[in-house]
Chain A
Amino acid sequence: MSITSLKTGGTGLSLALDNNYMEPIATTVVGSTAVNSIIFNDIPQGYKHLQLRMFGRTTRGSGNDGANLRFNGDASASYSEHELKGSGTAVSVYGYASDVSAAHSVFATDGGYSASIFGAIVLDILDYSSINKYKTVRSLGGADNNGTGTVGGVYFDSSCWQNLTPITSIYINSPTGSNFVQYSRFSLYGIKG
């Protein structure tokens, strides 16, 4: 599923923000047919930061899932990540220096969670249009399964896309290759600064 922004550059920005410093860029809700990926194209460059608000569940048969991000179609090993996780029973950490995408957690799964439960991730991409900085991403994510099984958790994730190019597109898929199910939602916002 590919989404193209309705806004194009600075001339598309609303002038009536007042206290509303966040501006919706585009959103998609998965319909009755599960989808393997989401793409935000033509991201306008007139904001300071971006925020992705995601509400997700996948077709994975067990465990947790999440959102893998790639920027501008870059599938090279140019992403690094740190993770601090609370599973409900233990605290753990994770990280890697170079990978082909940046994984952020957590989404619920058809096989691991009770029905009607979705995970949530609020993710910030700071200085996304800078040509002088690598792109830093931070997120808070979580899902709870009412104490059933070993799934669920609350996650602090941070990642870095080691590239000086402004972000113009974001590709999102599941780290496990599963599909996003109906009612999963991906909303992109621009934050003025």
Chain B
Amino acid sequence: MAAKTGTYTLIASNTLNSSTTSVTFSSIPSTYTDLILVMNCWQPSSTGEIQIQFNGDTGTNYSYTRLEGNHNGAESLRSSNNTKLFVGALSTSSYPTVSTVHILDYANTTTYKSSLVRHNSLYSSNVFPINTGAIAGLWRSTSAITSMTIDQYNTGDGNFASGSTFKLYGIEAGNL
């Protein structure tokens, strides 16, 4: 059996040319084992929270556990039965948030979809919800992920600023 070549392959990329309310990656191939979504983004005029919805599922099938901290201290929260998955705080005024979302075994049709998020956001006044942290996420569906839509929750003008970047990578597993 031939050994596999390198992985961490760029599947799709989107750099915004104007303020945009959402970004969608569709027709995600099932040929990888894990997905990694890397976001470098901010709002034009306020702060917010980034969220993801998979396969257009608008049901209350998303939940997460958060660990985060800023200059005010550290906390851990959980939220269940949501319609989207929280994946990081969003800053503004050219203070980019960096959020990396790992989705393991995204294409299997047996298990629910677990994700790990590492996010960092900074702003000069360190206002809520700006912080650094990590998230364990769950989408209660055994469907393979074929699309994802990234938008914001209930804050500010709801746009991702021009210049924000969103990159989706695929990771192949080694030979069985």
A149 → B minimal CB distance (Å): 11
B67 at the interface (CB under 8 A from A): yes
Q: Which residue of A lies closest to B36 (CB)?
A: A122
B112-163: which have CB < 8 Å to A? 112, 114-116, 118, 134-138, 140, 142
Pairwise interchain contact A88-B77, C-beta atoms closer than 8 A: yes
Would you give the shortest CB distance from B62 to chain A, in whole angstroms?
9
Minimum distance in angstroms from A70 CB to a CB of chain B:
21
Interface size class of B (residues with CB under 8 A): 35 or more
Instruction: Pick from B9, B33, B111: contact of A118, CB below 8 A.
Output: B111
Interface 1/0s, chain B 96-121, versus A by CB < 8 A?
Answer: 00000010110010111011101000
Contact A120 B136 (CB under 8 A): yes
Q: Which residues of B contact A112 (CB under 8 A)?
A: none
The interface bits of chain B over 1-40 (1 if a CB of A lies within 8 angstroms of the residue's CB, else 0) are: 1011111111000000000000000000000011000000
- Distance of A192 Cα from B8 Cα, bound (Å): 12
Whether, in the assembled complex, A76 has its beta carbon less than 8 Å from a beta carbon of chain B, the answer is: no
Q: Does A96 contact B (CB under 8 A)?
A: no
Of all chain A residues, the one with the shortest Cβ separation from B79 is A147
- Is A100 engaged at the interface, CB distance under 8 Å to the other chain? no
Q: Is the CB of B80 within 8 A of A147?
A: yes
**Chain A residues numbered 27-45 whose CB sits less than 8 Å from any CB in chain B:** 27-29
Q: Find B65's partner among A16, A53, A142 (CB 8 Å cutoff).
A: A142
In the complex, are the beta carbons of A144 and B105 less than 8 A apart?
no
Binds A, one of B41-49, B87-95, B167-175: B167-175
| Interface hits, A120-136 → B, CB 8 Å | 120, 122
Give the interface size class of chain A. Answer: 35 or more
A104 at the interface (CB under 8 A from B): no
Is A12 touching B6 in the complex (CB atoms < 8 A)?
Answer: no
A21 and B136 alpha carbons, distance in the complex (Å): 26
Given A29-B176, A91-B67, A147-B80, output 10 extra A-B contacts at Cβ < 8 Å: A23-B5, A53-B104, A53-B173, A84-B67, A86-B134, A146-B80, A148-B80, A153-B136, A183-B105, A185-B173
23 contacts between A and B (CB under 8 A): A6-B1, A24-B4, A24-B173, A53-B173, A55-B111, A86-B67, A88-B66, A89-B76, A91-B76, A116-B111, A118-B105, A118-B112, A119-B114, A120-B115, A140-B118, A141-B136, A142-B134, A146-B140, A147-B80, A152-B78, A154-B136, A183-B108, A189-B174
Write the residues of chain B forming the contact surface with A, with a CB cutoff of 8 angstroms. Answer: 1, 3-10, 33-34, 63-69, 74-81, 102, 104-105, 108, 110-112, 114-116, 118, 134-138, 140, 142, 171-176
The 5 closest A-B pairs by CB, nearest first: A142-B136, A86-B67, A20-B6, A86-B76, A147-B80
Q: List A residues at the B interface (Cβ < 8 Å).
A: 6-7, 12, 14, 16-29, 53, 55, 84-91, 106, 116-120, 122, 140-148, 152-154, 156, 183, 185, 187-189, 192
